[in-house]
Structure 1
Amino acid sequence: MKVTVEQDRCVAAGQCVAAAPDVFDQRDEDGVVVLLAEDPTAERADDVRYAAAVCPALAIHIEE
């Protein structure tokens, strides 16, 4: 699994951080998503898929 994010689309809702805090974080100054793990472990895969599904801006992309 490879994860990418579109920071310019992010609306700083924080759903991704709530779903997968080991993979996503937010910038302090504006809350925009920060990708911590481009290739998350298999154990995190379901959480990352969920984060992408609940992202209101559809800013998270997954390549399986």
Structure 2
Amino acid sequence: MISRQPGTAQGARAAFLDRADIIAGRGCHRALLEMAYTVSEIRLVKHALDAGVMAQQGIYW
């Protein structure tokens, strides 16, 4: 059983597990990775801008 005491690591984990959040960015702290049920990485394979296609209004801005 996880303690729900505020201000403790167990309490923070319990509060985290009661939520469904999406966190985006780079360089995630290891503690957050360990608490998460799902962790994904998106890797660029190829991009239209690299092929010279101009940015389009409504898509890029």
Mark yes or no: TM-score above 0.5: no
| Higher relative contact order, structure no. (Cα contacts within 8 Å, ≥ 6 residues apart) | 1
TM-score by length of 1: 0.29
